[in-house]
Structure 1
Amino acid sequence: MSIPYNITIFVGGNAKRFRNTMWLLISCFILFGAKALNAETTTFQKCCPKKLNLIKVVVVNNDTKEVNFKCLESDVEATYNISNRHFPLILDEDIEVKYGMPQDCDLQLLPIPTIKDVDTMKENSICYDRLVANISNEEQKHIIPKIVALQCIKEQTETEVRDAKISLVKIRKCCPKGQNYDIEYHLCRKNLENDDEEWIATQIENSKNSNYIYEIELGLHCKLSEYAVELTNEKFMFRLDGSMLNIESRYGASNSSSFHNEWCIDRDIHDPDKQMIARVCTKNCSNYDAFCLRKCCPVGQHFKPWSCGFRSRCVPNTDESALFDLSPFLPPLKNLSKLDTYGIRSSLDCPQSRMALNISSRADHHELTMEGNLKWALGVTVNYCLETFDFRHCNADVLVSGVTCYEPLEDKNYKLSFVLMTISSVCLALTLVVYCALPELRNQHGRTLICHLCTMLLAFGCLARVQYAYIPDNGTCTLLAYGIYFGFVAAFAWLNVMCFDIWWTFGNVRSVRPLRKANAERKRFIWYSVYAWSSSILLTLITFLFDKYPVSPYLDSNMGITRCWFGTMQNDKDDWPHYIFFVIPMGIVTCINFVLWVLTARHCARVKSEVHRLQAGSMGERMKRRFRVDRAKYLLTGKLWVVMGAGWICELLSTVAGEPKWLWDIVDLYNQLQGVLIFIILIFKPKLYYLARKRLGLERPDAQNNGTSSSGRTSSTLLSRSISADERISTRVSVPNNAKKK
């Protein structure tokens, strides 16, 4: 009896509080129970069975048009040769789903941008699904998957709509159905398990949303100025909230952020059970401590060259041999902690043209900086992209290499350079025509001058083409580069011949020998030609062989690779080929010419005194006439040396100092107008005017007779003035500067 007594005492002491609590519980139970009884179950009418999509089939026969709607089952796939590669609608577990299309009525298609008010009063009068294909007379038309409604036409006016209880949520999957994302090579790869729908359903269940219909969209489309940053659930936490993706760092390194449409999720192909990946669009990679870089083609594509050069187009990956492998660029960045999070930005928009770099060439060496920029021979640039080049059709390897924008120097007007060099080329051509047309000018000195003009015309012609516009073909660019090189090397060689010839002439004059005979001059010209042409060809051939079969980076000229000249950047530590094959040899020739010119000046002074001593008699007159001719040749050869030597000296100085800019603008203008200067020196002469009139038969016979005695001197004098327009073809001048375009 003591136990009931104790209970009675307890209850008695708290009777009022207990009764209030019980009444409260009863009231809540009654309230929620009534609400539950009055609540309506959320239902959704899906046109096709679970995991199937909808297609539209149209058959047109004469004037009749039959429209049918079918579910994309295996037999339908085989009939219309289409595949069910699109994800179906995924429904929340709390939604009651009914399957099937309205029966015994004509159906009409009602496209709807979002699912709203989908719960209707009339059962089976309307259904919803995802339309993924449109078949017209057994031909598939392109259609973007979209949510549509099928409704009975006769029921349309009778449909009464209630308040919406279901909302549409769009989830973006990074890769197509049956594929997962590879964060190592940054592309989608095939997943043999093909259980994507179950995985997506799991993610939806974890988000704890209700009354949602989920539409799966594929891929990620960021703006051109945004990077697609690849985040993993090892460093970040992901949570779906409807169409929003919320991201929060596990280590507090960055603030939480939310994305509405600019995101996608997927599994890591290397660890699909544990590793989840989210790709998000952002302009600021530092928010996620990511290493961002540029890729030329979209994800899942690579470059396929048109031929065996670097001119390429983007094509889809068909196998796993053309992967976007960044390992060659990673060694300089091995100490960078953020290499486990990448950001990829596709495409490269260049204002003029793009230039591919050959990663296997030392002259094209490039690497990534800590900031994600590209460092190459011309400095550091943000205007670049990396891509996989597939050269297997050329019996070569697959390589990942860089592409940059062609950026002309701000202080270089290439159009103006092209115009000036074209004018110089025309003047050289006119000078050459005049000297070839007048027999009086074709003596030995004239023949050497004609050869010199030919080489200068070759160099300036190729140089003008290089300055005109970008040359996309590597073969053409290389050919023009060697044309410029050979032209200037041969021009220096023939100038050396002229300096030697005038030195030899005055050396013989001092012994008071008779005037040279034609046979002796012809023989000497043959030896001159052997020296000039063979030395030029030999030096060009050596340069070509070391370029084609490199044995050392110091001898690899890389002609036409990055530009239509030597491939190295002027003043760069790797600019040795330019010095070895051009600057130093031409400097030696220029110095030899200077020595010969000085020695000739000494001989000229001695000959002059000897001529004065022998002025009396016929021998003295002959010697005096010869001395005048040779002295004129000497003076003009000196002018030629000044022109060629000044170009080479400026070339050398420009490799040491690039300032002041205005001085080098004047030097460039001088080099570009050398052809015009040669034309003025050699053509604008009264005696040449007389010879031209004589050739055309416009001179009177007596005038011709009076001019006969001086014709030899005239030809000799005018002739020798033809000179090198040896443009400084280093990077500083026109050649390399424009040649950099490729």
Structure 2
Amino acid sequence: MLIVVFYLLICYQTCDAIEWRKCCDDQQEAHTVNDTLVCQAQAVTRYQVHTDAVNFLYHGDDGQCVDTSSEGFFSYEVIGGKLVSKKQSDTTFYKCCPLKYVYDADRRSCIKADNFSEAFLGRNLVQIGLPQCKIISDTSVKNFTEAQDSVSGLEPGSFCLDRQHSGNFIIRKCERDMSICKEKRCFKKCCPDGQSFFGGGICKDTYVHGFTISDQHYSGYIEDPKDDYELIYGTKCPGVSLMPRNTIQYSITKTGNFRYYKNYTESFIEEDVLSFTNYCIEHATKGKLVGYFLFMCYKTPEISAKFTYTFWVKILSCVFLVFTVLIYVFLGETKSTFGKILISYCTTVFFLLATLIVSNIRFTYVGVECKLRAYITIFCHFSTFAWVNIMSLDIWWTFSTQKRVIGSDQRRKDLKKYLLYCLYGWGLPLVYLLLIILVERLEILPNTIHPYIGIHYCIIENRNYGRLLFSHVPQLIFQISNTILFIKTIIYCIRVKNEINKMNHSSNRNEKRKLSADKER
């Protein structure tokens, strides 16, 4: 009898060990390729297998193993190197931090700790963190038994357990609503639990950064920073922008609201902590930019119906611009300076509209492509104003100077004049664009006039006076210049017309005198 019991015990332990053998290495996950199970780099770190038996596929044995994927846990049966069956397995333990990490309640983050025992896990399929929760409450208990009793009856996935670096255990639970923000101050964390910005405004699993309000550049703007607080995780902003240091007046109140000074209204505005378009705090890593920063959250506007209408209008305009250029070329109008100017203007407008059409098709506000479209739009837009200015100048020049005999010498002068026009019409906008890029990159101007480009909109953004200074003021200068040239041209035409009328009147009077003298004879 003892031998049978001993055999059954050995068989149970062996079967349990086989069930929890990991197919691949710790940093890999299993994928099926043509009925074959292969190991690839782990894409999602939210699922981990707690076992010492790893690399089952490497040994080439037949049997069962378990592994992770982006969808959870799966158990596989492999015979002769071929996949026979695949079945999804349920999570058996919800841990707040990855394996070999413990929880830091002060920063709400994870700390690497190889010396802490993880025997309390008991089971082996471990899901990490609570990335789906908006608000998470933390409760510290002395031992694992007390922690288990506290979470009994809770829905799986709505809580997690872990050891703290102090030696106690932590219970983290998802709150059902935002009512806790009425009892405590809530701060907004940009990314979900366990994530932070990496390589830009993209949330990725890092686990170790968490959240802090002490000893940061924004700490002085927080009222009563030592008060207890909770976090709102994951604002789900389509885009965020870094709040420049010491450039605007703002504060985070005792209730968690964001209070800031708005230049346009010249008054302080206070936004509720639950407002979407609001601040958030996050750890960011991008090149030399490493640390905790305050960000502004912006809501991506919905595509208005007017974009649909103007899209086809722009296409139709491009078609007519092409026809205009072809007609001028066919009729030989390109031989004159004005014909060359008109074709240059039409070409610039065509590329401006083409860029706007691409922006309509690819309605995105982030990335290098958005910045590139913004730069092209700025260049073409400024160039159109420059060519209209050239057109006004050439018309005034034509009317205000005497006609010259067309010859080879005059053609060379006209060509030289057109090349100078090209230098002005395309060279000046290029210098202007390079100046804007330089000012934007170096951030040498105050925040009130700094040009923000391609962060949330593929143009100079209307968030301060930067758009007024770098877009509207140059346009106004061109408009004033064109108006002056137009008035001078009109005045010259009126003066010439009056002189012609005087000459005609004088000629008629002389003819009348001559006719009268002839009659007297």
Q: Secondary structure at the match of 2:107?
A: coil
Pairs aligned (count): 434
Equivalence for 2:136: 228
1:4-40 Cα shifts (integer Å, max 9, x gaps): xxxxxxxxxxxxxxxxxxxxxxxxxxxxxxxxxxxxx
Aligned equivalent of 1:557 = 451
Is structure 2 residue 244 aligned with structure 1 residue 340?
no
Q: Distance in 2 between matches of 1:366 and 1:423?
A: 47
Query: Is the alpha carbon distance of 1:259 and 1:333 closer, same or farther for their aligned partners in structure 2, counting shifts above 3 Å?
Result: farther
Q: Displacement of 1:190 after TM fit?
A: 3.2
Work out whether 1:486 is the aligned partner of 2:379: yes
- Structure 1 position 487, deviation (Å): 1.3
Distance in 2 between the 1:298 and 1:537 partners?
45
| Mapped contact 2:196–2:204 kept (Cα < 8 A) | yes
Equivalent residues in 2 for 1:365-444, closer than 5 Å: 381-382=275-276, 387-392=282-287, 397=290, 402=295, 404=297, 406-408=299-301, 413-440=306-333, 442-444=335-337
Q: Deviations over 1:224-282 (max 9, x none)?
A: 46421224579xxx995974459xxxxxxxxxxx966544454542x335xx5432211
Q: Is the 8 A contact 1:355 1:405 kept in 2?
A: yes
Deviation of 1:408 after TM superposition, in Å, equals 1.2
Correspondence for 1:137 among 39, 42, 62:
62
User: Following TM superposition, by how much is the alpha carbon of 1:590 offset from its aligned partner in structure 2, in angstroms?
Assistant: 0.8
Q: TM-score, normalised by structure 1?
A: 0.48
- Deviation, 1:591, is 0.9
Displacement of 1:468 in angstroms is 2.7
Which whole-Å deviations, capped at 9, do the CAs of 1:355-405 have from their partners, x for residues lacking one?
Answer: 24345699999997766578999996527876544335xx65466575856
Output aligned runs, 1:455-466, within 5 Å: 455-466=348-359
Q: Which residue of 1 aligns with 2:241?
A: 357
Aligned position for 1:181 = 103
Tell me how far apart the structure 1 counterparts of residues 64 and 106 of structure 2 sit (CA, whole Å): 39
Residue 286 (1) aligns with residue 286 (2):
no
TM-score (norm 2): 0.65
Task: Output the amino acid matched with 1:185.
Answer: R
Please state whether the residue corresponding to 1:408 is helix, strand or coil. coil
Residues 562/405 of structure 1: CA separation in 2 closer, same or farther (3 Å cut)? closer
Q: Secondary structure at the match of 1:596?
A: helix
Aligned residues of 2:189 and 2:234 also touching (Cα < 8 A): yes
Output the CA distance in 2 between the equivalents of 1:408 and 1:504: 47
Q: How far 1:426 moved relative to its partner? A: 2.7
Distance in 2 of aligned mates of 1:558 and 1:455: 24
Partner of 1:546: 439
Note the C-alpha offset of 1:431.
Answer: 1.9
Offset at 1:424? 2.3
Partners in 2 of 1:444 and 1:267 — Cα distance?
81
Q: Secondary structure at the match of 2:171?
A: strand
Match of 2:398 in 1: 505
Amino acid at match of 1:599: K
Deviations 1:600-658 (A, max 9, x none): 21211121123345569xxxxxxxxxxxxxxxxxxxxxxxxxxxxxxxxxxxxxxxxxx
Distance 1:460 1:192, change over 3 A: same
* TM superposition shift of 1:418: 2.6
Instruction: For structure 2, list consecutive stretches of 5 or more residues without a partner in the other structure.
Output: 1-5, 27-49, 74-91, 506-521
Cα distance in structure 2, aligned partners of 1:312 and 1:615? 78
Deviation, structure 1 residue 593: 1.3
What amino acid maps onto 2:458 in structure 1?
A: C
Residue equivalent to 1:693:
none
- Residue 452 of structure 1 and its aligned partner are, at CA, apart by 1.5
Q: Give the direction of change, closer, same or farther, for the CA distance of 1:455–1:287 in structure 2 (3 Å limit).
A: closer
Contact preservation (8 Å) 2:147, 2:171:
no
Q: d(CA) in 2 for partners of 1:215 and 1:495? A: 75
Shift of 1:333: 5.5
Partner of 1:643: none
Distance 1:357 1:368, change over 3 A: farther
Provide the C-alpha distance between the structure 2 equivalents of 1:527 and 1:177, rounded to a whole number of angstroms: 69
| Most deviating of 364-373 and 523-532 | 364-373
Q: In the alignment, is the contact (CA less than 8 A) between 2:318 and 2:354 conserved in 1?
A: yes
* Partner Cα separation in structure 2 for residue 176 and residue 547 of structure 1: 40
Kept in 2, the 8 Å contact 1:290–1:338? The answer is no
Q: Give the counterpart of 1:296 among 188, 191, 211.
A: 191
Contact 1:230 1:342 in 2 (8 A): no
Question: What is the CA distance between 1:189 and its match in structure 2?
Answer: 2.2
Deviations 1:147-174 (A, max 9, x none): xxxxxxxxxxxxxxxxxxxxxxx99653
Q: Is the 8 A contact 1:497 1:528 kept in 2?
A: yes
Q: Distance in 2 between matches of 1:425 and 1:362?
A: 46
Q: Distance in 2 between matches of 1:227 and 1:457?
A: 51
Paired with 1:218 and 1:565, the residues of 2 have a C-alpha distance of 46
The corresponding residue for 1:596 is: 485
Query: Is contact 1:386-1:400 (8 Å) kept?
Result: yes
Deviations 1:120-157 (A, max 9, x none): xxxxxxxxxx9998977366323999xxxxxxxxxxxx
Change in 2 beyond 3 A, CA 1:369/1:591: farther
Distance 1:133 1:48 in 2: 19
Specify the code of the residue in structure 1 equivalent to 2:181: S
Percentage identity across paired residues of the two chains: 19
Q: Which structure ranks higher in relative contact order (CA pairs < 8 Å, sequence separation ≥ 6)?
A: 1
Relative distance call for 1:434 and 1:192 in structure 2 (3 A) is same
State the one-letter code of the partner of 1:291. Answer: C
1:555 Cα deviation after fit:
5.9
Distance 1:190 1:437, change over 3 A: same
User: Which deviates more, 225-234 or 279-288?
Assistant: 225-234
Counterpart of 2:65, as a letter, is Q
Query: Partners in 1 of 2:392 and 2:420 — Cα distance?
Result: 15
Distance 2:394 2:131 in 1: 69
